[in-house]
Structure 1
Amino acid sequence: MGEQVRLEQLFHSSWFRPAGLSTLALILYAPVGVCLLVVRLFIAVQFFILALILPPNKFRQKVLRIICGVLGLTISTDGDSHPHGKVFVSNHITSFDHLAIHLATNAFAPTKKKIFKFLMKPLALFLTDNESVTNEQIEFFDDPVIVFPEGKPTNGEVGMLAFTTVTIPEGFTIQPVGLQVSRPFFHANCITASLTEEIIIGLFLPNTHFSIKFLSVETVDAEGDWKKRTQATIAQSLNLVPTKFTTADRAEWLKRILFRPPSVATMARAVQQQLSPQILAPETILAALQRTGTVDGAVQYLRQTCAASLQASGSGLPPTFPKSAAQRMMSFQERKRIMIATARQKYIEKHGLNISG
């Protein structure tokens, strides 16, 4: 079933939706959005202060949830979280999925990124060497842990990546979580976007809504089949397709869409710079590029061609250009002297002149 979905269907390469009425509405909304962005930046400071000083409990969750609503992050839940659940397993859509689930469950997410320690609690994160769940983490934290085994966000509209980036010890009770995210005017995420862009868009828009669906608890088995089983469970609850694509496939596809081959003019300038101070005709350089396809190949080909030409004329110059600028200038002057002498000799022979001495 996973083969029916193409990898590119799992991601959006742009924030913007297709042009239409939504584009017109976005233009009309823009002044309001800018005002909201400025005001919410100041409110975000209050959120961090309260998240830092309040102890983890139900009151803290309610207060932070209200402030997040003002900031444009709204949450709705379906079902109940397990009262003794220690590990939540969710699909991944945005950079703030863990924060939304934290406000509903008080769960914290592991991260390998180096973040200021005082920001860890407000952002619902804890530092770890890897993103897998260990017995030590479960025993050390009183609060539950939230993990995203897909590894990277998808658009949450078509399918899910395979669960490959997280390992959970055998015997643990886990609760799958189905997550959906919606935004007006914009897609939920963009594969090429930065965290800064996502923050600005979130504060600019009226709201970003997270719909959290708590599913039946499962037990991690020894064989590791829980990954396929849990992926299928979450996908079915969200009407998505569980695919076999991994974060490695995503990375390769991202390289392809971001790669922009250099123009012929740029390549020609690079060739000429490497062959300087010798000046070649543009047609000669373009012909070499068409023959070899690369800058290095064209440079090597032109050097060999020039060297062969000079050797055929009896110049005795080496097949490669000297490395230093002084040596290159000397070889240039030598070639110039040979060309003048050759032209002079041809002129004398053509006109039958007898010049002695």
Structure 2
Amino acid sequence: MSQIDIKNLFDESRFPSGWKLVSLLLYAPLGLIIVLLRFLISLSFWTLASILPDCQPLRTFLHNGLSLSFGIIIKISPETEERNPEARILVANNVSTLDHFVIRRVAQTVTPSGWDLPSSLSEALGLQKMDMSSKDVLVANIKEFLASTKANLAVQPEFGATNNRVALLKFNSWPFGIEPVVQPVVIKATRPEFVDVRLTSVASTTWTDVLWFMFVPYTIFTLKYLKARRNTDQEILVREVEKEIADELKIQTSTHTISDKSEYEKRYIREKVQNRGTQSRGSTNSQVGNMEMIRMAQRVNEVLPMVPRSVVLRDLSKTRNAEITIANLLDGIVTYTPEQLPSTASESSFSKSQVQPAKGFKMPGTLSFHERKTRMIAEAREKYIEKHGLKNC
């Protein structure tokens, strides 16, 4: 029994890639219509099962109708062994959430379940309600059921579906202690290539898997009986059956159990939630950073309105500080072409006064750099004080 990374036993996504994904997208509108029709048909069957008395003709009708609703086609492998009537317990691998329905159609079996469904519908699905509060209680229920009826029982000791391409989950041994004879059954499932949607994925729910059954045009299940096995030692029997089913599927056995699968699914969901939260926080931080940058740019332009906003933002991306950017602009460290500000009445009046310079006033071209800097700061400060009403402070 080889040890494999548990994540290889499951598909993170049920969707194909490449041209198969394109064909799936093209099929999607038709698939949604089929889902709606099949859902309405299934709802009608549920209603019939709830209001009509339980009888064999109703069970048969419901079972055939549900095959249509789920789009399930069942085949028996030509290399199958004969069904052994002594083996009342069939042991199968787990590939989907509807395996019990498939085995029921071929072998007239039932599978223990905790679902409380109308009896005719439950039997049509291949389910038998039993007390599953503990292993010992369930085993006692199964033995009582087998003693009181001629029906056969189907069990899947993995108790959880895998992708059936790498390895099986480790079989639980308790179902092999109910009776000394069991018959292994190998289940394989395929879907058409143009809608190659996986039967299940990590942490998927039963109802999600069922909806995908309704979405695809059909799902083909192939069953193959293996030789019945007899052994009074259930620990030896379970390992023999497990190895035989794995060899038939051309995959390995593993030490991973259904508990390991549950822990992996919890970890997978937790990591997805954390990653989503990290991305959300990153997006929020980016938005906050952008808003802060715009606020600082507005502050710089309030002091130096003639500086283009693009120049201000470019320098702020380096300095991250409005005061430093203002100093860089005033000191000539950052060069720019001044923007022409819109004329106002006050500016017009100010321009006229500049035409007739006062005594001792120097023309702008004759001002030193230090004088121009001092004058710009004074004018910017005056405008800032006037804009924010700080004259009386």
TM-score bracket for this pair, using the shorter chain length = 0.5 to 0.7
SS in 1 for 2:187: strand
CA deviations on 1:186-215 (whole Å, 9 max, x unpaired) are 112112211221121111111122111111
Distance in 1 separating the partners of 2:8 and 2:279: 32
CA deviations on 1:207-256 (whole Å, 9 max, x unpaired) are 12211111110124235211111000111111111111111221222222
1:10 and 1:154 in contact (8 A); partners too: yes
Partner of 1:296: none
1:205 paired with 2:216, answer: yes
Partner of 1:115: 116
> 26, 37, 40: which is aligned to 2:38?
40
Distance in 2 separating the partners of 1:127 and 1:206: 30
Tell me the amino acid that sits aligned with residue 229 of structure 1. Answer: E
Distance in 2 separating the partners of 1:61 and 1:200: 23
Report deviation, 1:172.
Answer: 2.8
Distance in 2 separating the partners of 1:11 and 1:176: 23
Distance in 2 separating the partners of 1:228 and 1:199: 31
Cα gap change, 1:69 to 1:24, in 2 (>3 Å): same
Distance in 2 separating the partners of 1:68 and 1:207: 10
Report deviation, 1:43.
Answer: 2.8
> 253, 258, 276: which is aligned to 2:269?
258
How many matched pairs? 263
Partner of 1:153: 161
Greater C-alpha radius of gyration:
2
Partner of 2:129: 127
Distance in 1 separating the partners of 2:219 and 2:110: 20
Instruction: Give the unaligned 5+ runs of structure 1.
Output: 267-357
Task: Give the TM-score normalised by structure 1.
Answer: 0.66
Partner of 1:73: 72
1:161 and 1:242 in contact (8 A); partners too: yes
Cα gap change, 1:84 to 1:47, in 2 (>3 Å): farther
2:59 and 2:123 in contact (8 A); partners too: no
Report deviation, 1:168.
Answer: 3.2
2:185 and 2:225 in contact (8 A); partners too: yes
Higher share of residues assigned helix: 2
1:61 and 1:104 in contact (8 A); partners too: no
1:176-325 mapped onto 2 (5 Å cutoff): 176-183=184-191, 184-260=195-271, 261=274, 263=278
> 77, 94, 97: which is aligned to 1:95?
97
CA deviations on 1:252-300 (whole Å, 9 max, x unpaired) are 222221113465997xxxxxxxxxxxxxxxxxxxxxxxxxxxxxxxxxx
SS in 2 for 1:178: strand
Alignment identity in percent?
A: 22
Report deviation, 1:185.
Answer: 2.4
Cα gap change, 1:62 to 1:240, in 2 (>3 Å): farther
Cα gap change, 1:27 to 1:224, in 2 (>3 Å): same
Task: Give the TM-score normalised by structure 2.
Answer: 0.60
Report deviation, 1:45.
Answer: 4.3
1:151 and 1:165 in contact (8 A); partners too: no
Tell me the amino acid that sits aligned with residue 235 of structure 1. Answer: A
Cα gap change, 1:216 to 1:63, in 2 (>3 Å): farther
SS in 1 for 2:131: coil
1:72 and 1:205 in contact (8 A); partners too: yes
Cα gap change, 1:37 to 1:264, in 2 (>3 Å): closer
SS in 2 for 1:122: helix
Cα gap change, 1:99 to 1:171, in 2 (>3 Å): closer
CA deviations on 1:282-338 (whole Å, 9 max, x unpaired) are xxxxxxxxxxxxxxxxxxxxxxxxxxxxxxxxxxxxxxxxxxxxxxxxxxxxxxxxx
SS in 1 for 2:189: strand
Distance in 1 separating the partners of 2:105 and 2:224: 14
Tell me the amino acid that sits aligned with residue 11 of structure 1. Answer: F
